Amino acid sequence: MTLTPEAVLREVFGYECFRPGQLEVIEAVLAGRDCIAVMPTGAGKSLTFQVPARLMPGTVLVLSPLISLMKDQVDALLDVGFRATAINSSLPREEWLERVEGLVRGDYEVAYLAPEALGGSLRSRLGDAPLSLVVVDEAHCISQWGHDFRPSYRRLRGLREELGDIPILALTATATRTVARDILRQLGMRSPSGYKGSFFRPNLVIRCRKKGEGNTRREILALIRRYEGDSGIVYCLSRRSVESTTEFLRQRGVRAVAYHAGLSDRERNEAQEAFARDDADVVVATIAFGMGIDKSNVRFVIHRDMPTDIESWYQEMGRAGRDGLPSECILFYSWADVKARERFLSEIESPEIRKEKQEATVRLFRVADADVCRHRAIVSHFGEEIEPCGSSCDVCTGVHVTDQVTELGPVTRSSTRRRPDSRRGHRAPGTDAGTAGERSPSHPLFQKLRTLRKRLADEQGVPAYIVFSDQVLWDMIEFQPSTLGQMLDVPGVGPAKLERYGDDFLRALKEDRLP
């Protein structure tokens, strides 16, 4: 019997159905075509190469910008039974050599590599490895027109010629048309198939608040206090405001840590680990904190200052709610912020690019300051048209930050009872994170499962969400599986995780049912 993508999805990953675009991209890849997929954060881009990795002979090589992110992805793959590895400069020499030899032998289904590594001796060895697909993750980093250009991505040029006829899959969450064209050209892709997903993410509840009309710090504190025990990120423009905001929050009992480029590697790692392991609830950070996180249960992202442009804003806020659950995104903005941003532009040599960047910040200001549905304004920037969201932004609901900070009592989750098949595609609008319901973080069984998850994760030295996402825990509570077979029906529980964690979670659920 030949294995199908659907079978891999079900039997390896434990998911019931593909999300929009996943199968299209997988089929293009399996047909040996070059492909570019532009899909928002959280859409499930990883599966578009992880499923083929199980189906194709040889190795899928994934070029990915951050070592910390690689480690999490490899852990997650190992956890569902893949042969996966990451080859990077943080490894001891011996180990590095061993993994490179393994790559050449074809030991791995998936191998992650940072673009930096393509400069050294490894590059010539790649030609000897039985590669079936090259994946360029965060592909917009190759373009100077994008908001996150990385010089190391220049090393990807010429790779196509060197490796021969291996298909390339470019993945990104934030390509405008100009950037997408630049990606294709620079990677030398040939008549690629393309998939562009919808950028509308109704589980993100977006609100904008003009600074200067209130006390920003106090408002941020009040917003965070509604999220006792949940994870969130506060983005600031400068290191100084990261430090002072962290201090302010800590003194008021928030478990916050600071993260910015001025800290030592060790300090930054500690902050990131503390956040990943739920030992800290809030990270206060400059944008230096970003692509390294793959945490699915971030419930809020607050911008204390304006980001550079709409793309950055959407990408940064998109770190909330990757598990699909309602999450809040709040932008504090001002014209002074726009002016402060201009200072950063002096480093850019090309006057053309500098001007474009300047205008991009002004466009963001206009969106924040306008009376148009936030979601509609954002996706229209990506060339997509939608009706006003109706329920997931301050303009549509009339619920503003000022209303929230005067409200009392803890916020609770959406009351929508979800069936597994409702995970397909977009969550229906109407999931405002401010509405009352049963999915409160203080739900006793949820807390119990969360504690169990943390213990199992700590035992293995992995972040909690690698074990199960919040969504999976909520589904366990909803479906109350009492056998391993029923547990396997919970979306997100595949055979590997069932074997590793199934008994522990069944026991916890059973204890809860005892009188």
Q: Could you say whether residue 184 binds Zn ion (CB under 5 A)?
A: no
Q: How far is the CB of 435 from Zn ion (least distance, A)?
A: 15
Residue 369: CB minimum distance to Zn ion, A? 15
Any contact of residue 423 with ligand ADP (CB under 6 A)? yes
Using CB under 6 A as the binding rule, whether residue 86 contacts ligand ADP is answered as no
Q: How far is the CB of 19 from ligand ADP (least distance, A)?
A: 4
42 binds ligand ADP (CB under 6 A): yes
Per the CB < 8 A criterion, the answer to whether 86 and 78 are in contact is no
Does residue 293 interact with Zn ion by CB under 5 A?
no
Task: Tell me whether residue 352 or residue 387 sits nearer to Zn ion (CB atom).
Answer: 387
Q: Could you say whether residue 469 binds ligand ADP (CB under 6 A)?
A: yes
Give phi and psi for 259, each to the nearest 5: -145, 120
Q: How far is the CB of 386 from Zn ion (least distance, A)?
A: 9
Stretch that binds Zn ion, among 122-130, 153-161, 311-319, 385-393 (CB under 5 A): 385-393
How many other CB atoms are found less than 10 A from the CB of residue 383?
10
396 binds, among ligand ADP, Zn ion, none (CB under 5 to 8 A by kind): Zn ion
Partner that binds at residue 389, options Zn ion, ligand ADP, none, CB closer than 5 to 8 Å by kind: Zn ion
Nearer to Zn ion (CB atom), residue 379 or residue 473: 379
Considering only residues 5, 8, 12, 19, which one is a binding residue for ligand ADP as defined by CB under 6 A? Answer: 19
Alpha-carbon distances, residue 362 vs 148, 302, 369 (angstroms): 18, 20, 10
* Residues that contact Zn ion, how many (by CB under 5 A): 5
Shortest reach from residue 22's CB to ligand ADP, in Å: 6
> Positive or negative CA dihedral for 5, 11, 17, 21?
negative
Residue 386, by phi and psi: left (phi above 0), alpha (psi -120 to 50) or beta?
Answer: beta
Say whether residue 396 binds Zn ion (CB under 5 A): yes
Indicate whether 44 belongs to the interface with ligand ADP (CB under 6 A): yes
Q: Name 307's Cβ contacts closer than 8 Å, sequence gap at least 6.
A: 235, 287, 313, 316, 364
SS3 content of the chain, % helix, strand, coil (to 5): 45, 15, 40
Instruction: Provide the mask over 21-40, with x wherever binding to ligand ADP is found by CB under 6 A and - wherever it is not.
Output: -x----------------x-
Q: Which long-range contacts (CB under 8 A, 24 or more apart) does 69-72 make?
A: 69/291, 69/292, 69/293, 69/294, 70/112, 70/114, 72/276, 72/294, 72/462, 72/463, 72/466
Distances (CA, A) of 286 to 18, 233, 243, 249: 35, 10, 10, 16
Q: Which two tokens stand for residue 220?
A: 């941020």
CB of 210 to ligand ADP, least distance (A): 30
Distance CA 273, CA 467 (A): 15
Q: Least distance to ligand ADP from the beta carbon of 134, Å?
A: 17
Segment contacting ligand ADP (CB under 6 A): 42-50, 62-70, 83-91, 121-129?
Answer: 42-50
Q: Quick count: other Cβ atoms within 10 Å of Cβ 44?
A: 18
Is residue 389 within the footprint of Zn ion (CB under 5 A)?
Answer: yes
Residues 173/41, Cβ–Cβ less than 8 Å: yes
Stretch 90-129 residues interacting with ligand ADP (CB under 6 A): none
Name the minimum Å distance from CB 473 to Zn ion. Answer: 29
Q: In what order do the strands lie in the sheet with 168-172?
A: 84-87, 110-113, 59-63, 131-136, 168-172, 35-38, 193-196
Residue 47 binds which entry of Zn ion, ligand ADP, none, with Cβ cut-offs from 5 to 8 Å by kind? ligand ADP
Q: Give the separation between CA 298 and CA 231, rounded to whole angstroms.
A: 5
Give the span between the Cα atoms of 290 and 319, in whole angstroms.
Answer: 8
Q: How far apart are CA 61 and CA 240, in angstroms?
A: 39
The secondary structure of 401-429 as a DSSP string is HHHHHH--S----------GGGGSSPPPS
Cβ closest to ligand ADP, residue 262 vs residue 495: 495
> Can you tell me which of 193, 296, 308, 327 binds ligand ADP, judged by CB under 6 A?
296
Closest residue to ligand ADP using C-beta atoms: 44
Provide, rounded to whole angstroms, the least separation between the CB of residue 471 and ligand ADP.
8
CA 301 to chain centre: 12
Q: Which does 393 bind (CB under 5 to 8 A by kind): ligand ADP, Zn ion, none?
A: Zn ion
Residue 463 interacts with ligand ADP (CB under 6 A): yes or no: no
- How far apart CA 195 and CA 25 sit, in angstroms, is 7
Write out the residues near Zn ion by the rule CB under 5 A: 373, 388-389, 393, 396
Write out the residues near ligand ADP by the rule CB under 6 A: 15, 18-19, 22, 39, 41-47, 296, 322, 423, 469, 491
